[in-house]
Amino acid sequence: MNEMVQNPPPTAGTRATRQRAAREAAATPGADRVRVNDPDRTMANILQVATAEFADKGLAGARIDEIAALTSTSKRMIYYYFGSKEGLYVAVLEDAYRRIRRIESELHLEDLAPEQALRTLVGFTVDYQLANPDFIRLVMNENMHRGEFISRSTTIQELNIPVIHAVRDVYQRGVAAGVFRPDVDPVDLHMSISALCFFNVANRHTFGAIFKRSLDTPAATAQRRESIIEMIVRFLRP
The answer as to whether 96 is a domain residue is no
Same-domain pairing of 125 and 181 = yes
The answer as to whether 7 is a domain residue is no
Is the per-residue pLDDT at 122 higher than 50? Answer: yes
Q: Kindly state the percentage of the chain with pLDDT values over 90.
A: 79
- Boundary (domain end) residue, out of 91, 119, 140: 91
Same-domain pairing of 121 and 188 = yes
Q: What is the average pLDDT across 77-105?
A: 95
Is the per-residue pLDDT at 38 higher than 90? Answer: no
How many domains in the chain? 2
Same-domain pairing of 112 and 230 = yes
3-state secondary structure of 113: coil
The answer as to whether 20 is a domain residue is yes
d(CA 80, CA 77): 5
Same-domain pairing of 222 and 136 = yes
- Boundary (domain end) residue, out of 58, 91, 124: 91
Q: Kindly state the percentage of the chain with pLDDT values over 70.
A: 84
Average pLDDT over the chain reads: 86
Q: CATH code at 153?
A: 1.10.357.10
pLDDT on residue 9: 37
Is the per-residue pLDDT at 103 higher than 60? Answer: yes
CB 43 within 8 A of CB 83: no
pLDDT on residue 163: 93
pLDDT on residue 70: 94
- Boundary (domain end) residue, out of 46, 62, 91: 91
pLDDT on residue 135: 96
pLDDT on residue 39: 87
Q: What is the b/e burial string over 140-154, where b = at least 16 CB atoms within 10 angstroms of the residue's CB?
A: ebbeeeeeebbeeee
Locate all alpha helices (DSSP H) within 62-153, ordered by sequence: 64-69, 75-82, 85-104, 114-131, 133-144
The answer as to whether 159 is a domain residue is yes
The answer as to whether 155 is a domain residue is yes
- Crossing angle of helices 114-131 and 186-202, in 10° steps, is 30
**149/214: higher pLDDT:** 149
pLDDT on residue 37: 66
Same-domain pairing of 118 and 209 = yes
Same-domain pairing of 116 and 231 = yes
What range does the domain containing 20 cover?
Answer: 12-91
Name the residue type at position 137. Answer: R
Same-domain pairing of 132 and 221 = yes
Same-domain pairing of 86 and 128 = no
Is the per-residue pLDDT at 238 higher than 70? Answer: yes
Same-domain pairing of 80 and 115 = no
Same-domain pairing of 129 and 184 = yes
The answer as to whether 117 is a domain residue is yes
The answer as to whether 84 is a domain residue is yes
Same-domain pairing of 34 and 82 = yes
Q: Write the CB contacts of 226 (distance below 8 Å, at least 6 apart in sequence).
A: none
Is the per-residue pLDDT at 25 higher than 60? Answer: no
Q: What is the pLDDT of residues 162-216, one digit of tens each?
A: 999 999 999 999 999 999 999 999 999 999 999 999 999 999 999 999 999 888 8
Same-domain pairing of 226 and 188 = yes
- Ramachandran quadrant class, 84 (left: phi over 0; alpha: psi -120 to 50; beta: rest): beta
d(CA 55, CA 212): 26
**27/82: higher pLDDT:** 82
Is the per-residue pLDDT at 36 higher than 80? Answer: no
Count of alpha carbons within 13 Å of 86, Cβ hemisphere only?
A: 7
Which range is least confidently modeled, 5-19, 70-84, 100-114, 197-211?
A: 5-19
CB 114 within 8 A of CB 170: yes
d(CA 35, CA 77): 9
Is the per-residue pLDDT at 19 higher than 60? Answer: no
The answer as to whether 34 is a domain residue is yes
